[in-house]
Structure 1
Amino acid sequence: MKKPFLYLLLFITGHLCYSQTNNPTIIKGKVVDTPVNKQVAAASVRLLDEVEVTATAGQNKSLLYQPASIATLKTTELKRGQGIFLDDAINSNVPGVSMQRRSVSGGQQFNIRGYGNGTRGARGISSNFDGQGYKVYLNGIPVTDAEGITLLDDIDYGSLGNVEIIKGPAGTLYGQAIAGVVNMKMIQPEKGRTTMQQDVMLGNYGLQRYTTRLQTATDRAALSLSYAKQRSAGFSIHNNSNKDFVNLLTAFDLNPLQELSTFFSYTNSYDERLGELTLDQYAAKDYSGNIEYIKRNGHSHINSFRGGMAHTINFNEKLYNTTAVFGSGYRSDASSAGGWTDKTALNYGFRSSFGAKVLLNDAITLSGIAGIEMQGQVAQTVGYSMKQNPGDTTTTPWIMGKPYWVVNATTSNMFTVTGTSNLFTEWTLALPYQFSLTAGVGLSRQRISLDDRFNPETAARPSHYDTSYKQMVSPHIAINKVFNEALSVYAAYSRGYKAPASAYFFITTPVVTSPATPATGRINSALKPEVGDQFEIGTKGALFKNRLAYQLSLFHTKFGNKMTTVAMQLNNTTTAYSYVVNGGDQVHNGMETWLKWFVVKDGHGLLTGVAPFANLTWSDFNYGNNFIFQTGSTTNNISTADYSGKTVAGVPKISTNVGIDVTTKPGLYVSMSYSYRSDVFITSDGVNKSSSYNLLNGKMGFHQNIARRFEVDASLGLNNIGKVQYPLMIFVNQLPDAYIPAPLKPVLFGGLNLKYNFR
């Protein structure tokens, strides 16, 4: 019944293209609001921001009219700190969302309302490698691959101009997004201006960032071309980072009713991995790293490209279509304590949606979108063991200064073909008295084909496997009420899924000599997708003559079919193999609030802007009933751990940030921010936890136009002014290794940006 319903809605929207009118008032692929929908004050829209890149069903893009938790980061938030590492902007400005990284500028991962990473079910809600559960887009091109894995090393965060985050399951419009969606957009050219800009940032720990950007935009065309080189020596041994970014954006108004835009990027990224510190190392402030990583030249190296083209056509004032095609690919090599891995991947796909608006009468309007997104990936992953460098003839333990270990024998070779699709539709009924009702449904599919090209196929060991997940139906329903064009309240329900990753399916038992047992293999065919259901209520608005902006949300989310591990025992002293199964539930209850008060706004005196801000996150996340891990080792029997009712590891109960932005008429500006994180359990048994910490960051600068043509911006900043010990990343359930540390000393940085305006 669900598929015919979706196809019917697609047919209806397509049929609307024949309903021509004599007055098509349309801009940039969006049907312009009629007076019926222009009921929010323009100042309120500016204060709360508009949704620019996130798909919505309603025609009014103000956050006031969005019945969901959507966080927006613009230039003020993105550049409040260093501006080249997105985690500082996320962690200080977005309640309910955190971002970690494994190195100076690599291994980044999002955690949205307690769900973030996870190629390994053994880690519980989160894993320590790669990101799963959320969808990430850059200028409309999926960063998340067709298998649902997100790799973020190759993103030029210093060139971002807009970030929007949907918090909670977003499967209706975005497919397998059980945790949420992150939409990123590069800096856009200003219409009517042609500029050349050179930015330089220098800092301690060998930080260097050089960005050259050319931008031009007329009424009908725009172009932005940038190149950036980013270097850092890191704060410890084996901690270097080297990156090169190229970004090209174009946009053309082909005629009054059509627009074409393109985006291309290339990245060469290399980050050394220090490795995780043990609890003892962290306590002793011994940041010498993990020798097993360092001797294997632990690193992540990625060469990647992305390209996409989007076309928008407005058929009439009631209907438009936007279709985008995209492709991306990368080649990576990485090494860690477990060995060396080479991977080559190619992703391709398209997203096409119709937007429609029907004026039912003078007081009721129906608007919505319907479409499809499809993505495929072809990838090959080859694993190797590593051995001592033949040039190193010593027999003593490895120390810094000796040659790094080298690649040895092949240990695995997996070829995968994956495909995902999402058929979606969502509609908003705008009713009298500023009520609106939103409802939609998405139908997602996942297909995986695996070929083991290392192990020969035998009767006991398969080398090929195909599987698919077809009925991932994600509904969304919400109601929104706006009061006095200044504040709104909403209630919403949403669902999302995450299908198993390809690494979960082959179960191979090793050769055992005592008792003699040959290697065998089988397929883990019983896995089901994880499912997340969220109920949320919230309010947002702009009060006190449009000077106080706020958002408040309360949510209850249940994640079902959570994946966990089972260890199979061969005898009393040997674990034959382990594999992933669907385990119990997790229940997440939380509260998020965000405030910004414009004490001075567009002032004409010495102070042109004074804006304190604050946000608070309260998280009560627990393992549900019958949440059990089974583990084993080569020296002990299998043990079963029941985590039912215990606190989910890896997420602080309390997170809060406060700060202030001040601008002056002469061009001086100051930003200060304070952050607090409560202690965090690092093991699911509730025994081990990290300490709470406080951070104080500051930045001051000068911005001024000189002789009409030149703009200069000079700044100086200091992070972690109090010299506080804290982790960049916590490794959950991985003792004795536990932390990737942040620098102990304050991080000093300074920037100089020069822009020349040709017109």
Structure 2
Amino acid sequence: MILLFFFLSYVTNAQFNISGLVIDNTTLIPIKNATIIDVKTGNKTLSDNNGTFKLVSNGIIEISFAGYETKKITVTNDQSITISLIPNINLLQEVFINSQSIPLQEKYATDAIAIVSKQEINRGNTIELHPILNKVPGVFMQNGTLNTNRITIRGIGARNLFGTANIRTYFGDIPLTDGNGESSIEDLELASISRIDIHKGPSSSSYGVGLGGTILLRPEFIDYQTTEAFFSSSLGSYGLSRNIAKIAIGGKKSNLNIVYSNNHSSGYRDNNSYNRNTVTVTSSIYSGEKNSFSIIASYVDLKAGIPSSLDQEDFDNNPRQAAFTWGRSQAFEDVRHGILGLTWKHNYNPLFSHHTSIFTSFRNNYEPRPFNILKEESNTIGIRSRIIGISNLFNKKWNWTAGGELFLDFYNSKTFDNLYEDFPPGTGSILGDQLSDLDEKRNYYNLFAETNFKANDKLQFNFGIHLNQTFFDIDDEFLVDNDDSSGSFDFDPIFSPKAGVNYLLNNNFIFFGNVAHGFSTPTTSETLLPDGEFNPDIKPEIGWNYEIGTRYNFFKSKLYGSLSLYSLRIKDLLVARRTEEDNFFAINAGKTIHNGIEGTINYNLLKFNQKQLNLFANASINDYKFNDFVDLDSDFSGNDVTGVPSHVINLGVDLISKKGIYGNLNFQIVGEIPANDQNTVFNDQYELLNGKIGYKNNIIKHLSYDLFLGANNILDIKYASQLQINASGFGGNAPRYFYPGIPFNIYGGINIKYRL
């Protein structure tokens, strides 16, 4: 009895020396001023600028910070731990952003930023990115097929013929934008992403200045001191199947997360099959108060048919068919893509640190098309490093960062004759004689500096500068045709400044504004004249963005949202000009003005029994015009900018539940879209209704399930989900502008999770 008494007394009164680090679960940003309290004694402390803390505890500590879910941890001995806090989906204005520049809470940003949480990513079938991004005001993703997409931000990138351009994209610290300024983020597995941050406009100087803005995909890291296994399987219309397996282990100072996925679809259209396998690995290591590391790796194996676009008659009467020559040649792309990155963060002291990332990637593609067969190989390597500091100047606190990024892209493309017409129908593409062989070096460097200056408790300023220079070097290895496209092209260095302000009026309103300069360099193909020589007169597109806005919340954050007004003015617009020989080459021939209004409103209508019912609405009203656009004898001045809807409106309801029934419904209105510069062909306005319902519960204490059923295009609207802008007809055929959208379709499945 005496021994038992002493044992119980020790357990009850034991004190443990706890040290640790508090970080954001998605960005890994250290959270300063988080409250750490010992539950039994009430003893508490705050984390410092680097997120670190020390506390004497009697066994249970509670960690909290505004905008994040409170966490409790039991400790049984002296230890050093890492604590990751999960953002609260109703308080995203409080969470930390800018992990690659100066970390700050979203509400204090001077530019327009949208945060897409894990909850919002999971609202749909999670194989398609476009329903997620199209709920973000100012962002519009056209989706011809699962492997044919185009993302625009405030109209930038709409004139790119294929894929996404003029927008910077990152997966963690790894650039996804290649040396040509093009990105393919739709190939990544959405189950491996914890959050998407979107900086709209050219104000994100620390990421490289793309005219449209920056999309940051945050990889998912498992919580420390957690073990999790996850499996998901779902089936849907048109042969859709999706399987995901995840295993994650988190220790006190390190974690490992591995996600495998297989996605398959037979496709709505002919020659439209899709099969993608991915493996994504993330890991973070906390090696004391001064050093931490994170590793990101992803591999994608994708093969997908290419049905291409249709003319008006085929779109109206037989939208499931592939374009004739694309179906006859059985066109497809076969892609293998891998990325790997390592980031090291070192804290010299609470006021000074540095972050360095090294990264590499490869992409191989075999792509038969009716007009030729393309073989591509691309390898990149780069480094990104920056220092972050806090200084006192004129008795005021200055947060600042400075750094650089070096990106080297080695690309080879070969084309071959496609002999499919020489063989019986059904044979598909046949490799013929070689037509070209180009080696390209597409390199650039970025230098940047940025500072946040807090004038007083209500007013702060942001200033940034960015310097970029891009270099193209082409070596023509195929001289049999007596056409040598070899050459070098070095763009002049481009200096891009920005300035922003943020003013806290009161607890309900925050106002912000910014002026920022941006640019987009031409691709290597756009720098070439029809004879293969470099065009010495080609210039980057240049733009200035002017913006004011507000973020608001009322009734203890039950009602919150934002409103932005902007004007983006672009000169030296790149356009394609037809020559007498029916070739095309790029010229700087225009100016555009992108005026717009973006607004969001969210209302937490009910909150009961671990459930909440939210209403939301958002809108983009776009007035994008060619201000001065004359190409030879054609004057397009005053016309609407091609490929951009006049407006996008979303209305929705979301029932969120940790257990039991959950669901959401989203109604979207997309305004008419000009299909050509002449504004003689438009894609009509259309409306989409998507929804999902599910039920989740525990099987046993640590094992849970989630059954779900969803439907897209519930109203069965006929619409074009992507446009081939400025399409031309050949051989007397009508232009093929339209990619048919998928009619009413359903999906359903089950998620099973084991978590300790």
Shorter-chain TM range is: 0.7 to 0.9
Matched residue type, 2:107: L
**Structure 1 partner of 2:119:** 76
Structure 1 contact 54–183 (Cα < 8 Å) conserved: no
Instruction: Measure the CA separation in 2 of the matches of 1:481 and 1:711.
Output: 45
Matched residue type, 2:594: H
Q: How many residues align?
A: 683
Instruction: Measure the CA separation in 1 of the matches of 2:510 and 2:602.
Output: 17
Residue 752 of structure 1: how far off its partner (Å): 0.4
Instruction: Measure the CA separation in 2 of the matches of 1:495 and 1:55.
Output: 22
**Structure 2 partner of 1:207:** 240
Question: Is 2:743 the partner of 1:711?
Answer: no
Structure 1 contact 101–107 (Cα < 8 Å) conserved: yes
**Structure 2 partner of 1:8:** none
**Structure 1 partner of 2:487:** 465
Question: Is 2:650 the partner of 1:647?
Answer: no
Q: 1:452 aligns with which of 476, 501, 513?
A: 476
Residue 456 of structure 1: how far off its partner (Å): 5.4
**Structure 1 partner of 2:627:** 624
Residue 154 of structure 1: how far off its partner (Å): 2.9
Question: Is 2:197 the partner of 1:197?
Answer: no
Q: 2:149 aligns with which of 108, 112, 132?
A: 108
Instruction: Measure the CA separation in 2 of the matches of 1:703 and 1:26.
Output: 30
Question: Is 2:418 the partner of 1:383?
Answer: no
Identical-residue share of aligned pairs (%): 23
Question: Is 2:338 the partner of 1:310?
Answer: no
Instruction: Measure the CA separation in 2 of the matches of 1:523 and 1:442.
Output: 27
3-state SS in 1 of match to 2:497: strand
Instruction: Measure the CA separation in 1 of the matches of 2:164 and 2:657.
Output: 41
Q: 1:48 aligns with which of 78, 92, 117?
A: 92
**Structure 1 partner of 2:554:** 543
1:166-185 matched pairs, under 5 angstroms: 166-170=199-203, 172-185=205-218
**Structure 2 partner of 1:128:** 161
Question: Is 2:465 the partner of 1:421?
Answer: no
Question: Is 2:454 the partner of 1:430?
Answer: yes
Matched residue type, 2:602: K
**Structure 2 partner of 1:32:** 32
Structure 2 contact 626–639 (Cα < 8 Å) conserved: yes
Structure 2 contact 100–207 (Cα < 8 Å) conserved: no
Instruction: Measure the CA separation in 2 of the matches of 1:692 and 1:274.
Output: 24
Residue 611 of structure 1: how far off its partner (Å): 0.3
3-state SS in 1 of match to 2:533: strand
Runs of 5+ unmatched residues, structure 2: 1-18, 35-45, 52-63, 69-86, 729-734
Cα-to-partner distance string for 1:528-572 (whole Å, 9 max, x where unaligned): 111111000000122122111101100000111111233343xxx
Instruction: Measure the CA separation in 2 of the matches of 1:665 and 1:354.
Output: 40
1:346-495 matched pairs, under 5 angstroms: 346-360=379-393, 364-388=396-420, 392=424, 398=425, 402-455=426-479, 462-495=484-517
**Larger RCO: 1 or 2 (CA < 8 Å, sep 6+):** 1
Over 3 Å counting, the alpha-carbon distance change for 1:751 and 1:53 in structure 2 is farther
Residue 665 of structure 1: how far off its partner (Å): 7.2
Residue 385 of structure 1: how far off its partner (Å): 2.2
**Structure 2 partner of 1:94:** 136
Instruction: Measure the CA separation in 1 of the matches of 2:242 and 2:493.
Output: 47
Structure 1 contact 148–176 (Cα < 8 Å) conserved: no
3-state SS in 1 of match to 2:191: helix
Structure 1 contact 655–678 (Cα < 8 Å) conserved: yes
Matched residue type, 1:268: D
Instruction: Measure the CA separation in 2 of the matches of 1:335 and 1:391.
Output: 15
Structure 1 contact 444–471 (Cα < 8 Å) conserved: yes
Over 3 Å counting, the alpha-carbon distance change for 1:391 and 1:463 in structure 2 is closer
3-state SS in 1 of match to 2:205: helix
Matched residue type, 2:261: A
Instruction: Measure the CA separation in 1 of the matches of 2:658 and 2:310.
Output: 48
Q: 2:680 aligns with which of 652, 674, 687?
A: 687
Instruction: Measure the CA separation in 2 of the matches of 1:485 and 1:57.
Output: 26
Cα-to-partner distance string for 1:38-58 (whole Å, 9 max, x where unaligned): 9x9925984134565635755
Structure 2 contact 369–418 (Cα < 8 Å) conserved: no
Q: Is the deviation greater in 412-421 or in 499-508?
A: 499-508
Runs of 5+ unmatched residues, structure 1: 1-22, 117-124, 393-397, 510-520, 570-574, 631-639
Residue 243 of structure 1: how far off its partner (Å): 0.6
Matched residue type, 2:420: Q
Instruction: Measure the CA separation in 1 of the matches of 2:212 and 2:245.
Output: 36
**Structure 2 partner of 1:65:** 108
Residue 303 of structure 1: how far off its partner (Å): 0.5
**Structure 1 partner of 2:601:** 595
**Structure 2 partner of 1:750:** 748
**CA RMSD between the two structures:** 2.4
Residue 480 of structure 1: how far off its partner (Å): 0.5
Cα-to-partner distance string for 1:666-705 (whole Å, 9 max, x where unaligned): 5111111100011111111111111111111111001122
Structure 2 contact 67–95 (Cα < 8 Å) conserved: no
**Structure 1 partner of 2:76:** none
Instruction: Measure the CA separation in 2 of the matches of 1:29 and 1:565.
Output: 44
TM-score w.r.t. length of structure 1 = 0.86
Instruction: Measure the CA separation in 1 of the matches of 2:203 and 2:478.
Output: 38
Over 3 Å counting, the alpha-carbon distance change for 1:64 and 1:31 in structure 2 is closer
1:558-573 matched pairs, under 5 angstroms: 558-569=569-580
**Structure 1 partner of 2:721:** 728
Matched residue type, 1:621: Y
Instruction: Measure the CA separation in 2 of the matches of 1:327 and 1:739.
Output: 36
Q: Is the deviation greater in 550-559 or in 679-688?
A: 679-688
Over 3 Å counting, the alpha-carbon distance change for 1:671 and 1:493 in structure 2 is same
Residue 463 of structure 1: how far off its partner (Å): 3.7
Instruction: Measure the CA separation in 2 of the matches of 1:58 and 1:482.
Output: 19
Q: 1:579 aligns with which of 566, 579, 585?
A: 585
Q: Is the deviation greater in 418-427 or in 705-714?
A: 705-714
Over 3 Å counting, the alpha-carbon distance change for 1:252 and 1:205 in structure 2 is same
3-state SS in 2 of match to 1:42: coil
Structure 1 contact 25–32 (Cα < 8 Å) conserved: no
**Structure 1 partner of 2:175:** 142
TM-score w.r.t. length of structure 2 = 0.86
3-state SS in 2 of match to 1:683: coil
Residue 167 of structure 1: how far off its partner (Å): 0.6
**Structure 2 partner of 1:552:** 563
Instruction: Measure the CA separation in 2 of the matches of 1:367 and 1:582.
Output: 39
Residue 180 of structure 1: how far off its partner (Å): 0.6
1:145-160 matched pairs, under 5 angstroms: 145-152=178-185, 154-160=187-193
Over 3 Å counting, the alpha-carbon distance change for 1:724 and 1:577 in structure 2 is closer
Residue 158 of structure 1: how far off its partner (Å): 3.4
Structure 1 contact 41–485 (Cα < 8 Å) conserved: no
Over 3 Å counting, the alpha-carbon distance change for 1:185 and 1:387 in structure 2 is same
